[in-house]
Structure 1
Amino acid sequence: MTSPRLAVFIRDNMEPILQAWEDFARTIEPPALTMTDNDLRDHARQMLLVFADDLETEQSDVESAAKSIGHGKRGKGDTAAEVHAEARLLSGYTVVQLVSEYRALRASVLALWAARVGDCSGTVMVDMMRFNEAVDQTLAESVARYQSLVKQSQNMFLAILGHDLRNPLGTLVSGSSIIMQGADVPPKYVLVAKRMFDGARRMSRLINDLIDFTRTHLGPGIPIRAGESDLTALCTQVTNELRTAHPQRHIDLRAPHRLEAVFDEGRVAQMLSNLIGNALQYGSKDAPVAIGVTDTDREISIVINNRGPAIPPDKIASIFDPMVRIAASACDEDEDTERTSLGIGLFISREIALAHGGQVGVVSNAADGTTFTVTMPRWPGGARPAGMIVGNS
């Protein structure tokens, strides 16, 4: 007796295949426990029919290879796999559970078919290869749609986070600032207002860092709005702010009297604050943090050095990775609130430099301490705007 081709087998045995797949889907908790039989089978039938049609469609070796990695041709509109992914996301499935459904669907078909065919003839092997290619293509479509929907929801979350939290934090900062400046406010209330002010500002920075970190993973990177500005003035401003926040520490800034360049003031200030703050956090309290700003006609360089313990060689490679913290075991473990940050400041600093077409490097040893060096183009496109002042003039 001749074994049936797989496409015919799928159409003739749709119900037992769906039942075997449904039995597996019922084991996925908790979403499957609340879903009806129709929900569980919602798109499996359509996908099986797609597989059957695909098996009966002629294809070249190039098309076969493309499908095996999820790059097969597709028609207009959403595929059954994409619709399935959206339904599963809304039902609470994880991407792991989504993938496991396809694994079960593949296994259901092949196990039932293997029990029917009696040999592994050439046509059987070809059908199996074609079937696996079709499943891979469908799985790729489903995961891509799932990922796209997750990205949209994350972007929505960021929008809500930025809008709904920044506004009340701004109110808290403004209100506590007014109390701090009141001439008739008792000192104990001024102290409480100062703590509220510092806490709100720190929370705002953490929110901004979180948004920037997520943006780099969901989009093209950190956006910048570059314009002509004085880098020396910006470095001085950021340094003075950190001197005020850390009155017990010495920060030494050496820069040209004026250094005109094209950059995003807000982002570069954020980068400087992160890098100098990192130097203050991990540097020795008895040694100054040294900041040097130099320039050429085409490039600007910012060097930040601290004399704290050297970063171990095995940690240097991951220093800019998100969520990585370098253990400062040789430093005093005080109650410095800066040690409770998210650990993404260096990562964001590197992304800001990259967004400007520059880079951030680090070297660390016992003799010279730890030095971060930021280099960025001074003029986008390499040409200095007419009339702009040269830094050392």
Structure 2
Amino acid sequence: MRLSDFIAQHVDRIVDEWEKFAATLTPAASSMDSVELRDHAKSILLAAARDMNTAQTKAEQIAKAQGEELNKTPTLDQAAASHGELRHTVGFDLVQMTAEFRHLRATVIRFWVESLQAPDMASFQDMIRFNEAIDEALAESTAAYAERVNRSRDIFLAILGHDLRAPLQAVSMSSEVLIRKARLDAASLTYVERIKSSSRQMATMVVDLLEFVRSRLGISLPVVRQPMEMASACRDAIDEATAGHPNCNPVFNHTGDTHGEWDRNRIDQLLRNLIGNALQHGASSHQITVTLTGDEGYVTLLVHNNGEPIAQEAIGSIFDPLVRSANEQEGNPNPSTSLGLGLFIVKEVVNAHGGSITVTSNFGDGTTFTVVLPKKA
């Protein structure tokens, strides 16, 4: 009997074995009934049998073995993807879910081989096609499972970031009240100022985290354009960023008309992260130069610092989320307090405004980030 026919004829017996094995995958399986344990096993098996009966050339077989989309089976993919999602929902880990497919493969082959009287070349071809189908199902289940893991993590981070804002705001407001109304000696005032500064830094990290999660969940960065003056925003950002570096003597140059329509809150994020990055990864003197040029339809912002340049192999990934510089990983004496999201947020803000950002970095010239933003949408 051909393997596809054997699967269709003995599908319930095979699924019984699936259920017995799935029941051993504790602790999640301990509270599951028979229907939940069997899940999409029958659908996967019958779809695999149908896939095995479709015509396939040698080239198509090779392409499928390499994971290409050619001649995939929609019903098999749908059943496998649903299985991966549900196994994540009920608490199976990824190793347990993949073990189900390993056991299924072994069970089918064992039952079928036991039924064969005299295997021939067609039998070997059947085994190849069956393994292809199971591999496709396993890949779809794993992808769906991983997507659920990622989304669950992102939702957790979003909730965490959201819930952290209230206590941070309370800390910040309390420190502000103490500074204004309490009669504090010099030492106590220093401590309260430090609390206020630290809560502000933590709030910035929470905002960056929420923006990262927003992008991960497929939500574009919203911008509300209003008339503003970019040079003023640059001065405010420089003052805020350098408040913790009393020895820093930043240079700010601006020419031309720097009025335009941008989202001021987003621009503040961009400037705060770019300038903070320059201070963090520049030379020990924390010397930075910010240059702003206004032209007819756009402004160009350059943020420059000296110090250890960015490795050329890292340039391509510097705007990726959760990427930390090689210098920091090797033990920078000024370790960052960020989440590695600063430049990712910068890129998102630039993209939301329809602009562009580039970076150059070498030993002779230092590191320069160049942002070009149109003045209007």
- TM-score grouping bracket, smaller chain normalisation: 0.7 to 0.9
Which residue type is aligned with residue 338 of structure 2? Answer: S
1:166-185 to 2 correspondences below 5 Å: 166-182=165-181, 184-185=183-184
C-alpha separation in 2, matches of 1:71 and 1:82: 13
Which residue type is aligned with residue 119 of structure 2? Answer: D
C-alpha separation in 2, matches of 1:150 and 1:235: 40
Q: 1:364 aligns with which of 346, 350, 361?
A: 361
Cα 1:366–1:24 change in 2 (3 A) is: same
Q: Which residue of structure 2 aligns with residue 237 of structure 1?
A: 236
Q: Which residue of structure 1 aligns with residue 10 of structure 2?
A: 13
Structure 2 SS opposite 1:244: coil
Which residue type is aligned with residue 373 of structure 1? Answer: T
For residues 267-320 of structure 1, the C-alpha deviation after alignment (integer angstroms, 9 at most, x for no partner) is 221121111111111222436210011133233221111122233334434433
1:312-327 to 2 correspondences below 5 Å: 312-321=311-320, 322-327=322-327
Cα 1:259–1:170 change in 2 (3 A) is: same
C-alpha separation in 2, matches of 1:16 and 1:68: 32
Q: Which residue of structure 1 aligns with residue 342 of structure 2?
A: 345
1:79-118 to 2 correspondences below 5 Å: 80-117=79-116, 118=118
C-alpha separation in 2, matches of 1:229 and 1:222: 19
1:273 aligns with 2:275: no
Structure 1 SS opposite 2:307: coil
Cα drift, residue 161 of structure 1: 2.5
**Preserved CA contact (<8 Å) 2:98 2:138:** yes
Which residue type is aligned with residue 209 of structure 2? Answer: L
Cα 1:245–1:286 change in 2 (3 A) is: closer
Cα drift, residue 235 of structure 1: 1.1
1:186-225 to 2 correspondences below 5 Å: 186-225=185-224
1:283-298 to 2 correspondences below 5 Å: 283-286=282-285, 288-298=287-297
1:160 aligns with 2:147: no
Cα drift, residue 87 of structure 1: 2.9
C-alpha separation in 1, matches of 2:163 and 2:323: 25
**Preserved CA contact (<8 Å) 1:307 1:369:** yes
Number of residue equivalences: 370
Which residue type is aligned with residue 308 of structure 1? Answer: G
Cα 1:194–1:81 change in 2 (3 A) is: same
Q: Which residue of structure 1 aligns with residue 258 of structure 2?
A: 259
Q: Which residue of structure 2 aligns with residue 387 of structure 1?
A: none
C-alpha separation in 2, matches of 1:88 and 1:190: 55
TM-score scaled by length of structure 1 = 0.78
**Preserved CA contact (<8 Å) 1:231 1:258:** no
Cα drift, residue 160 of structure 1: 2.1
**Preserved CA contact (<8 Å) 2:7 2:45:** yes
Cα drift, residue 172 of structure 1: 1.5
Cα drift, residue 340 of structure 1: 2.9
**Preserved CA contact (<8 Å) 1:308 1:369:** yes
**Preserved CA contact (<8 Å) 1:206 1:341:** yes
For residues 235-285 of structure 1, the C-alpha deviation after alignment (integer angstroms, 9 at most, x for no partner) is 122112223332221111111364122332222211211111111112224
Which residue type is aligned with residue 276 of structure 1? Answer: I
**Preserved CA contact (<8 Å) 1:68 1:132:** no
Cα drift, residue 200 of structure 1: 1.6
For residues 312-350 of structure 1, the C-alpha deviation after alignment (integer angstroms, 9 at most, x for no partner) is 3344344333332231699972xx5x6232222122222
**Preserved CA contact (<8 Å) 2:270 2:345:** yes
C-alpha separation in 2, matches of 1:27 and 1:379: 62
**Preserved CA contact (<8 Å) 1:293 1:300:** yes
Cα drift, residue 179 of structure 1: 0.7
C-alpha separation in 2, matches of 1:148 and 1:330: 32
Which residue type is aligned with residue 189 of structure 2? Answer: V
Structure 1 SS opposite 2:336: helix
Cα 1:311–1:154 change in 2 (3 A) is: closer
**Preserved CA contact (<8 Å) 2:250 2:289:** yes
Which residue type is aligned with residue 89 of structure 1? Answer: H
**Preserved CA contact (<8 Å) 2:227 2:259:** yes
In angstroms, what is the RMSD of aligned CA positions? 3.6
Cα 1:132–1:287 change in 2 (3 A) is: closer
Gaps in structure 1 of 5+ consecutive residues: 381-393
1:48-87 to 2 correspondences below 5 Å: 48-52=45-49, 69=69, 72-74=73-75, 80-87=79-86
C-alpha separation in 2, matches of 1:194 and 1:237: 19
**Preserved CA contact (<8 Å) 1:262 1:379:** yes
